Amino acid sequence: MKLNLRQIEVFRAIMLSGSISGASKLLFVSQPAVSRLIAYTEQRLGLMLFQRIKGRLYPTPEAHRLFVEVTALYQNVQRVNEVAENLAENREGQLRLSCSPSLGQSLLPRAIAQFRRQFPEVRIVLQTLIPTVMQQSLLTQQVELGVAYMPVDHPSLAWQPLYENQIVAVLPKGHPLAARGRVTVHDLAEEPLIGYSADIPFGILINKLFGGEHAQPEPRIEVQQAHVACALVQAGAGVALVDEITVAGPIWSEVVTLPIIGTVNAPVNVFHLELQPLSRLALAFIDVLHKLDQRG
């Protein structure tokens, strides 16, 4: 390489200051050191960069042409420094997230709103995905974080617990059981139950709550997602077992929530790649999730 960064720096200093002495002051080095380095640079390039006329130093046309490229280089270096500073201060960037559909209507909107109050210039991409698709999105780095209640069954994924997230009973307003302080699953067994597919994580949890797959009453309506069950309860189609995060908030105004005796949890976790360091933005978002009141 004919030019290194130090030679470029000295050449630029001479062009800016117009003299060897001026360059030495800019760079805090001696004048002989500047003279030696620029002479060596000219030798390496096979070009005369400066001519001394009547005691003054004048750049050659070749020097002016080279200076155009050097100026562009320094502008790019300045841009790199600005980007590094912005990243350090979380002033710009993009955060790609995924979550289960139910959490996309409850927890994640509030978390993102809180995060944007701290980092308004950051672009956020949120995908609502079923667990298997979310797992693939994490493994292929299409998203950096996934938030869900799903099992961890891949060695390349790490997870952090966020909330215990109890299962509660959701009934229409005015339902006879609504006057009770709490219920058991057996109280709901004779009701028109809105249930879940047995092959999804939430369905497995509900089976566990009833004591096993064969102990669970046959649901009158079967759905895939907890927020759909809430919508059906609100419409008066039956009763449902739903996690407390999904049912929290003002959207379900025509339902009553009751704690269940002997309930189970649908723990909410945040997932990411095991061996991939998290970005500063991802760490900041996880911190927001930990501090957020999950029940609204």
What mean pLDDT do residues 201-208 have?
83
pLDDT exceeds 70 at position 86: no
Please provide the CATH number assigned to the domain covering 167-259: 3.40.190.10
Please provide the CATH number assigned to the domain covering 96-159+267-293: 3.40.190.10
What mean pLDDT do residues 156-170 have?
93
Q: What is the pLDDT of residue 251?
A: 80
Which residues have a Cβ under 8 Å from the Cβ of 65 and sit 6 or more positions away? Answer: none
Distances (CA, A) of 249 to 51, 109, 279: 77, 11, 30
The C-alpha angle 260, 264, 152, rounded to 5 degrees, equals 155
Tokens 């002479």 belong to residue: 39
pLDDT exceeds 80 at position 92: no
For the chain, the average pLDDT equals 87
CA–centroid distance for 137 within its chain? 13
pLDDT level of residue 151 (50, 70, 90 thresholds): low
- Given this chain, do its domains 5-87 and 167-259 carry the same CATH topology? no
Alpha helices, H only, 156-266? 185-188, 201-210, 226-234, 244-247
Considering only 26-30, 158-162, 177-181, 200-204, which range has the smallest mean pLDDT?
200-204
Domain 5-87 indexed as CATH 3.40.50.720: no
Spatial separation of the C-alpha atoms in residues 218 and 188, rounded to whole Å: 12
What mean pLDDT do residues 39-52 have?
90
Structural domain boundaries of the chain? 5-87, 96-159+267-293, 167-259
